Amino acid sequence: MVNTAIQLCVGLGNPGAEYAMTRHNAGFWLIDRIAAVYGEQFRTEARFHGQVCRIHCHGQEVRLLKPMTFVNQSGRAVAAIARYFNIPSEQILLAYDELDLPPGQVRLKQGGGHAGHNGVRNTLALLDDGNFWRLRIGIGHPGTKQQVVNYVLNAPSKTDTDCIDTALTLVVQQCPELFAGQFQRVMNRLHVKPASE
């Protein structure tokens, strides 16, 4: 029987204080919150091109990774740690910002393409297959393709920040079942529209 439990949870973002509050760092926001809830701190691991910590969640050991390579080269860090610990792609969860979802919505899925996200594109290129899980954190869309770069590299509004914060809180609450591989149960709870819609 294939083990579906998550061994590696990766949050995508850009290193540096100037990027800390930007939309492109939504993956970092989630991963930082998970580490804090489980009382762990990140340490820099040069061989994994990122910051790493381990948490124990209801008996399940999970490594958390924040690539320090900038978003477009995230795959270097993901591939390095996955190969070192022999973690199959189906036991990897990648969390990242999603333009095509409004703030406050999150979606969990396995496999698929990169949908224009360069961090996912690079991860797909460097892992053996694309069968990893994705947690897409809605940040909304600026309206035109030309505005996207400036949009993701700026901070969300107070209203959008509150919506994203609520969504991240919900995700953290699901961590025990999420990391245990109870994906359908987690999707049933996450894939609901906010009451404001």
Instruction: Please tell me which residue in 24, 49, 58, 114 is annotated as part of the active site.
Output: 24
* Composition of the chain by helix, strand, coil, percent to 5: 45, 20, 35
The token duo for 97 is 């910002």
Encoded amino acid at 36, one letter: A
Tell me: is residue 151 an annotated ligand-binding position: no
Q: Which value, in Å, is the radius of gyration of the alpha carbons in the chain?
A: 15
Could you identify the residue written with the tokens 């035109």?
144
CA 24 to chain centre: 11
Q: Does 118 show up as a binding residue in the annotation?
A: yes
**Is residue 84 part of an annotated ligand binding site?**
no
Q: Is 122 known as a binding-site position?
A: no
To the query of whether residue 58 is one of the catalytic residues in this protein, the response is no
How many whole angstroms separate alpha carbon 173 and alpha carbon 119? 25
The neighbouring-strand residues paired with 57 are: 60
Q: Annotated active-site positions, please?
A: 24
Which segments are annotated as binding site? 19, 70, 72, 118
